[in-house]
Amino acid sequence: MKSRIWISCLLLCLCDEITFLLGAGTVRREPISEAGQVNEDTRLLKDFSDRVQAYVKLHKRLEASLPPLKPTPDPAKIVSHQQALAKKIQAARQDAKPGSIFTPDITERFLRLIRNEFQGPNASHARATLRQGEPVKIRLGVNAGYPKGVPLTTVPPTLLLNLPRLPPEVEYRIVDHELILRDIKANLIVDIIPKAIP
């Protein structure tokens, strides 16, 4: 008799729990806590780092397939090596599009960092750094060469401190209002965040 009562109570509790969990067929979403936001930021930064590392791995593999560039004072040999590496990378990434590294979620996180920089206490210094470069209006493309004659505008140092660190093969650059990820040796645009700079 006691076991029947115990089983009945257990079934009633289970039914109540199931009803509570199912609610009226809706799922409540709680706002992301500060700890949840930190975990999300960590996940996004790891995703970004993994994507950059995958690109660098490709870069190194393709560069290793070229004859090594020996130290030379001849700029033509350096440019020739750079163009050969760029062609190999472009062929390997022929389907590359904006967002291959700067995914929408990663872009959103970067935009938050950039907005904070350009609206915070260092905003005037950041803008002054950008004004030092010549203003340019040019259309950029992922997997395209960095345009000849366009200055390599420095990213404000205070912004660089807040962006994820990069391996030596790539760098951040700003062209007009775009933040780009540039392959240094191949002189290629790896990815772009359009209208990133306010």
Sequence-distant (6+) residues with CB within 8 A of 183 are 55, 59, 86, 89, 169, 170, 189, 190
Q: What is the reported pLDDT for 171?
A: 96
| Amino acid 84: pLDDT | 96
- What is the spatial distance between Cα 177 and Cα 193, in angstroms, rounded to a whole number? 9
Report domain extents, the chain: 38-193
Residue 41 in contact with residue 59, Cβ under 8 Å? no
Q: What is the structure's pLDDT at 136? A: 66
- Smallest Cα–Cα separation from 105: which of 183, 37, 181, 178? 37
* Least confidently predicted of 7-11, 39-43, 113-117, 186-190: 7-11
What pLDDT is recorded for position 31?
A: 47
Q: Please give the Cα distance from 41 to 38 (Å, whole number).
A: 5
* pLDDT (0 to 100) of residue 150: 82
pLDDT tens-digit map of 145-195: 998 888 787 788 888 888 999 999 999 998 888 999 999 999 999 999 999
3-state secondary structure of 187: coil
Cα–Cα distance, 14 to 33 (Å, whole number): 29
